[in-house]
Structure 1
Amino acid sequence: MREGRPASFYWLAAFFAAFVLFLYGPMIAIVVLSFQGPSGGLTFPLNGLSLHWFERLWSGGGIVDIKSAFVRSLQLGLVVMALTVVLSVLAGLAFRKRFVGQNMLFYVTVASLIVPSIVTSLGIALQFRLLDDAVKAVAPPWLAEGYGTMMGLFTSALGAHLTWTLPFGLLIMFAIFNRFDSRYEEAARDLGATPWQTFRFVILPIILPSLVGVGLFGFTLSWDEIARSSQSVGEKNTLPLELQALTTTVTTPEIYALGTVTTGVSFLVIGVALASILALRARQARQGSDAGKGMV
C-alpha cells in the first residue's frame, strides 16, 4: 500500500508557492495594470482594458524618447553578448594550459564580481575623464576646442558591462572545458587536422549549446544593468536608466507598459536561447546516432 505524504511536504510546498508568488507577484501585477484603459490609474481595480498605454509609450510623445533608449540598450546588449562569447571562449582555451600570471589574471577578472557595481562605474567614469584631460592637453587647439569626451555607449559603457558579464562567461567556460574529453582533439590531430580545423569542426560543435548560455548571460545582464551604467554611459541613457528616471516623473500606467515591454524582451531572449540549446543538443544526438549506425 502507498503511504501518504507527510505533513512537512505540504508545509514546504506552501512555503515554495509563497516564495514564487513573492518573486513574480509584483511582475504579474505590473503586466496586468499595463493593459488598463485611457482613464486607468496606478492601482487596482482595473479601469477598462486596452492597449492605450502601449500606444502612448511608442508614440514618442512622452517625457523621454523610449524608442531610442530601447534601440540603444538592444544594440549594447547584442555587442556585449558577442564580445562575452568570443572573449570567454578564448580565455577558456587559454586557461587550459599553464602560463605566467594565470592565477593573477583569474583573480583580477573575478574581482569585478566582488567590487560594488557603483564603484566600478564611478572608477571607469573617472578613468575616461582622465583620458579626456590628457587628450585635450596634447591635442592641437583646433582639435581640443571641438573635442567632447570618449565616454559613450560603446566605449565606457561597454567596458563597464563587460566587467559584469565576462566573469560569468569565464566561469562557465571553466566548467565546460573541465568536463571536455580531450580524446576528441587527439583523434582530430591524428587524422591530420590543424589546430583551427580541430577547433572549428570538433571543439566548437560540442561546446556550442553552452555558448548559447554564455550569450544569454551576456545579453540579459547587460539589458537590465543600471548601477554600472549610471556613471559610465555618457550623455545618452540606456533603457533601464530611463525607466528608473520615469518612476519619479510619470504617474500613469505608461510606466507599467514600459516595464511589461522590457520584461517581455527578457523572456523572449530566454525562450530563444533555450530553444536553440534544445535544438543543438537534439542535432548532436542525431549525429551521434548516425555515426554509431555507420560504424555498425
Structure 2
Amino acid sequence: MAQVSKKTIKIKGQLLDLSVPRVMGILNITPDSFYSDSRMASLDEVMDRAEGMQNDGATFIDIGGYSTRPGAREISVSEEAERVLPVIEALNKNFPDLIISIDTFRSEVARQSVLSGAHIINDVAGGILDDNMFDTVAELGVPYILMHMRGTPQTMSKLTDYDFLIPRILKELGEKLINLRQKGVSDIIIDPGFGFAKTTAQNFELMKNLTEFHKLGCPLLVGISRKGMIYNTLNVSAKEALTGTTVLNTISLQQGASIIRVHDVQPAVEAVKLWMATSGVNEKIVI
C-alpha cells in the first residue's frame, strides 16, 4: 500500500488542492438526525444555512436525506430522492462555487443527485448496502468518499467485534479500494467511519491511529462532529459538544486529515487556520 496520501482530487473539471485542509458543512434534510439543530424542513431554511456555511468558509456542502444514526428509520429510495434533489438543484443555482456532496448509500439516489448537480458521492456504507454503487460511481466519473461501516444503520451498533481494530478496518477498506481502482475510479477519499459499527473506546483508538490510514494513499476525511464519542465521554448533550468537536478536529488535522465534516463551519475553519499557523505552513491559507 502507498505510504503517502494523495493531496488532490479532480472535481468540477478542476484539480482541488487538499494540502490545505478543507471543511465540509453538513445539511441534513431529515426529520430525525441525531443532532436536532441540524434538521431543516423548508428549502428557504436550507438555503439560508448553506449561505452561512459558505460565508464561514466551507468548501463542501454535504446533503443527506436519510438519517444514519443508530436505529434510524428506513425510508424508500423515492422519499430520499424527493428530499435531496430540489436542494441540490437550488444550491447549484444559488451557490455555484460550492462543491455539493450527496450523502447516500443508494446508487440510484447517487445517480439522480449527480445528474441534478451534485459533484461528489459520500457513501457511509462503502458499497456494502448497494451492489451497484461502485459501478455507478465509475460510470458517473465523480469523486467518491469510501467510508468504513458494517451492517446497516439499524444493526451496526451490534457489529463491533474486531480481532485487531485498525488492521481489520484497513484490510476491509483496502479490498474495496482495489475494487474501485479496477473499475477505473481514481478520485477516492477515505473515511474511517467514526461511530459506525464502533464503540466509544474503538472510536478513540481510531483517533489515536489516524496516521495509519495514510497507507491507503488517499485523502482522509474525518467526521466526528457532535457524535456520541464526544458527548458520552464528556457527559454532555450533542448541543453541548462543540468544544469537544473542535478539540478532536484539531487532533485529526495534526494527523493529516484533509477534510473535516462538521455541523459548525466557522469553528472548524478557525481550527484549520490556527493549526496551519502553528504548523509553520507559509503558503497562503485558502479555505
TM bin, normalised by shorter chain, reads: under 0.3
Structure ranking higher in helix proportion: 1
Say which structure, 1 or 2, has more relative contact order (CA 8 Å, 6+ apart): 1
Give the TM-score taking structure 1 as reference length. 0.24
Structure ranking higher in strand proportion: 2
Give the greater-gyration-radius structure (CA).
1
